[in-house]
Amino acid sequence: MNDNSQNTVVLDTTIEGYLRGCVGFDVDDSAISTILIDRGLLPGTDVTELDKRTKELCKADLYMWCASTPSVKGSIEDSHGVWKHKEGGTQSSAFDKRNLRAMANDIYKRYGENTTGSTIRMTARGMRIWRK
């Protein structure tokens, strides 16, 4: 039997590769570096060496970073008559950002980290019109 295989897949098992695979956004190297520094991890750490708590908290930090990015980023559009061309860029809605924050806060709560959320509730009582 031949030990050579045509299906060789090299997986990026570093924490950086893991985090990039968690979201559908282009993540800046500086953002990942900040997350790693805040969590006390070294760049290039093999993700299989980390416990589930650390991986999920890094993922929550990444979700919060994605939720804080601009809604439209790096888009270039050219047009001439009926011809149009658009390069790069991403766009996210308020709904997307709200979901990212909710997923991050769920992870933070699971591991006892402080979450950002308001405890103030507003109740509408109606309005009266007073006649003079």
Q: CA triplet 60, 65, 67: central angle to 5 degrees? A: 95
Q: What is the pLDDT along the chain (132 residues), one digit of tens a residue?
A: 556 667 666 676 899 999 999 988 888 899 999 999 999 999 999 999 999 999 999 999 999 999 888 766 555 677 777 777 666 555 667 778 899 999 999 999 999 987 655 566 666 666 667 676
> What pTM value is reported for the model?
0.67
Q: Which candidate, 39, 36, 37, places its Cα nearest to that of 14? A: 36
**Token pair of 28 as six digits:** 């800046």
Cα dihedral across residues 4, 15, 104, 94: positive or negative: negative
Domain boundaries, the chain: 15-71+92-110
**C-alpha closest to that of 38 among 27, 50, 30:** 30
Contacts of 104 (CB under 8 A, 6+ apart): 60, 61, 63, 64, 67
